[in-house]
A = this chain, B = another copy of it.
């Protein structure tokens, strides 16, 4: 299947081969999948083999950011070579008439490239505040800000979103024509990540701010 030029993969290794009709190479899809995530999985290799590490992430413009302790083995390795960052949201189980056509609904994004260390104290503080704003809008103004010592112990890194591909499956089962009359229920069993009732720290006597009061969606 030939893809329209406006939806071409940015590189050979990001070209989706399995079910290419589910591939998306546009910025809007990529940003939406990243912005809906709180963590990503990062693949990298060293002399002990391949590793797949989960870590918190956020996006600013055309970059995905991560952070961690200066002592982190992963952060050291990430500046030394290429990596692959993947985010996956599971949206449902797809129940087809035939065993073979069962599937899952999901949204995934893969980003290839090399991380760079974010430098400059102003820039480092600013981007960590962007992360906090994603977690809890407005909270940064109320908390005890990071000290110089805490920032000195923290490494912040980012990877450009230039070489990326998304894959999305949505909708109901796609059975073969000859299976459509098989006498079984068919459809989707959906999942959602739901925000549950906040749990106040027992030692806390302060009022819950708006982002806590409005958190619960259950």
Interface residues of A in 169-185 (CB under 8 A from B): 172-173, 179-180, 182-185
Q: Which residues in A have some Cβ–Cβ distance to B below 8 Å?
A: 12-13, 17-18, 38-39, 41-45, 48-54, 56, 68-69, 71-73, 81-86, 88, 90, 92-93, 95-100, 102, 104, 106, 108, 110, 112, 128, 132, 135-136, 139-140, 142-147, 150, 154, 172-173, 179-180, 182-204, 206-209, 212, 215, 218
Interface pair A201/B187, CB less than 8 Å apart: yes
Q: When chains A and B are docked, how far (Å) is the Cα of A100 from the Cα of B136?
A: 14
Interface pair A52/B49, CB less than 8 Å apart: no
Interface pair B183/A86, CB less than 8 Å apart: no
Q: Given contacts A52-B43, A143-B99, is CB(A207)–CB(B185) below 8 Å?
A: yes
Interface pair B99/A146, CB less than 8 Å apart: yes
Residues of B within 8 A of A208 (CB): 185
Which one of B18, B135, B143, B190 contacts A196 once the chains associate, using CB atoms below 8 Å?
B190
How many copies of this chain?
A: 2
Residues of B within 8 A of A53 (CB): 86, 110
Interface pair A187/B204, CB less than 8 Å apart: yes
Beta-carbon nearest neighbor of A180 in chain B: B203
Interface pair A186/B215, CB less than 8 Å apart: no
Interface pair B90/A38, CB less than 8 Å apart: yes
Residues of B within 8 A of A183 (CB): 142, 206
Q: When chains A and B are docked, how far (Å) is the Cα of A149 from the Cα of B208?
A: 59
Interface pair A84/B49, CB less than 8 Å apart: yes
Q: When chains A and B are docked, how far (Å) is the Cα of A48 from the Cα of B113?
A: 11
How far apart are A131's CB and chain B's nearest CB, in angstroms?
A: 9
A100, A140, A182, A198: most-surrounded residue (chain B CB, <10 A): A100
